[in-house]
Amino acid sequence: MSGKKSKKKQPEDPNSRHICQNRKARHEYEILEDLECGVVLQGSEVKSVRNGKISLDEAFARVRDGELWMYGANINEYPQANLMNHETKRPRKLLVHRRELRKFAEKAEQQGFTLIPLDVYLKDGRIKVRLGLARGRKLHDKREKLKKDTDRREIRGAMMKGA
């Protein structure tokens, strides 16, 4: 027998997986902190999200009446729901602990900060949204970040060729 151990890939847990990511957020904004939130959804929305039919491109979050709400997230209708379907862009309540909400709300109300949904994922069978406390980037900041990323990629590629 050889001394190698065979590594079998563990089957992915269907109750814990990544569903959707807001790619533009990392380019358009500088993410300072993030927060995991639950989200209140209707039954047809849950089915659509589990099928990956959600878009966070234009989504943002706000504190309204002491509660956290997500606006602009597009969850497509679930075809089998027929008459019991949901509105695709309705505001959705986010669930967080009160102390986390207070801490995040104070920072979000400061000049130039906003709350942006970064990604949606399943965790132990529940749908979660990761919110980021973000500051908008100027055009020159975006160019500088792209240049740094390109340089880092080129260096990594050169090191892989040499190794």
Q: What is the pLDDT along the chain (163 residues), one digit of tens a residue?
A: 444 444 555 556 666 788 888 888 887 888 888 889 999 988 888 888 888 888 888 888 888 888 899 998 888 888 887 777 877 788 999 999 999 888 888 877 777 788 899 999 988 888 999 998 888 877 666 777 788 888 889 888 888 887 6
How far CA 90 is from CA of 23, 70, 122, in Å, comes to 22, 9, 21
159 φ/ψ angles, rounded to the nearest 5 degrees: -70, -35
pTM of the model: 0.72
Q: Which domains does the chain have, with CATH numbers?
A: 17-137 (2.40.280.10)
Q: Which amino acid is at 146?
A: L
Interatomic CA distance for residues 128 and 125, integer angstroms: 9
